[in-house]
Amino acid sequence: MSEQQELQLEEREALQSIYEGDDAFKEINPTTFQYKYGKDDDIKSFLVEIQWPSNYPNEVPVINMDAFYNRNLIPPVKQKISSLLLEEAEQWVGCGMTYTLFECLKDKVDELVAEQPDTPIVHQSIDLDNGVAAIKISDSGDKKLPAKKEQLTKAQKRRQWERTDHKGDRPRGYDWVDIVKHLSQTGYKEEQAMQREQNLLNSEPALHPLNI
C-alpha cells in the first residue's frame, strides 16, 4: 500500500467516525464523498461532492457541483462555491482536508447563495426551426380565409346523390344523345314539312290554257 493510499484510508475512517449519524453526509465510494447544506425543500439548498484523485492528499481534490440535486442552482452560485473550496484546498495540500472543506462552508451558506433566486428558473431551449415555423404561423393571420361552402338542403343533397355515383362523379354516358330518338324526331319533322308543301300545291287553282 502506497503512502497516499494509507493517508486516504485513515482520512476515510476519520470521516466515517465524525459524520456518523449525520444524514447530510454520504460516502458514495471509498474516494467520493458528499455533503448537503440546507433543507431538502429549500430552493437555496445545495450539495457538494469531493472526489479524491489517486495522488490525494498531495494534490487538491475534484470539486463537483453538477450533481442532480443542484439542478436549480444558478451557475454563478456554483462557481462561487467551487472557487472558495479550491482556494481553501490549496492551503492544505499534503494533509487530509475533506472535513475542513465541508466545514468551511457551514458559516458561509447564506453569503454563497445570496444570488440564488427564491423560485426555480425554467430553462427553455431555442429551436430555430420552430421559431421560423411560429413566425410563419403568425403571418398567416393576414391571409383571407377560404370562401364558405354553400349549405345544401337534404332534398338538394339527395337529388345530387341520385345524379352521381358514390364517388361524386356523374355516370358514364350521362350526356350521350339517343340517336334513334333524335333521328326519329328529325325524320318526323321533315315528313311534316313535305306534307305541308304538298297540301299547298293541291290547294292552288289549276291553270287551264285559253281557247283561242
* pLDDT, the chain, mean: 79
Closest to 40 in 3D by CA, of 57, 15, 23, 17:
23
- Using CA atoms, how far apart are residues 195 and 133, in angstroms rounded to an integer? 80
Amino acid 195: pLDDT:
75
For residues 67-89, one letter each, b for 16 or more C-beta atoms within 10 angstroms of the residue's C-beta and e for the rest, the string is eebbebbeeebbebbeebbeeeb
Amino acid 196: pLDDT:
76
- Using CA atoms, how far apart are residues 176 and 173, in angstroms rounded to an integer? 5
Half-sphere exposure (Cβ direction) of 168: Cα atoms closer than 13 Å:
1
Closest to 28 in 3D by CA, of 41, 15, 18:
15
User: What is the second-level CATH architecture of the domain 3-112?
Assistant: Roll (3.10)
3-state secondary structure of 62: strand
Closest to 30 in 3D by CA, of 2, 59, 5, 65:
5
Which of 66-75, 86-95, 174-183 has the least mean pLDDT?
174-183
The answer, yes or no, to whether residue 77 has pLDDT greater than 50, is: yes
Closest to 99 in 3D by CA, of 38, 30, 13, 29:
13
pLDDT tens profile 158-180: 676 666 555 555 556 555 655 55
Q: Is-cis flag, bond preceding 57, omega within 30?
A: yes
Match 465510494 to its residue by C-alpha cell: 29
Closest to 78 in 3D by CA, of 42, 90, 86:
86
Amino acid 41: pLDDT:
82
Amino acid 45: pLDDT:
96
pLDDT tens profile 111-148: 999 999 988 766 555 555 555 444 444 444 444 555 65
Q: Say what percent of the chain tops pLDDT 90.
A: 52
pLDDT tens profile 1-20: 789 999 999 999 999 999 99
Overall average pLDDT of the 37-42 stretch: 91
Q: Say what percent of the chain tops pLDDT 70.
A: 61
Overall average pLDDT of the 95-109 stretch: 96
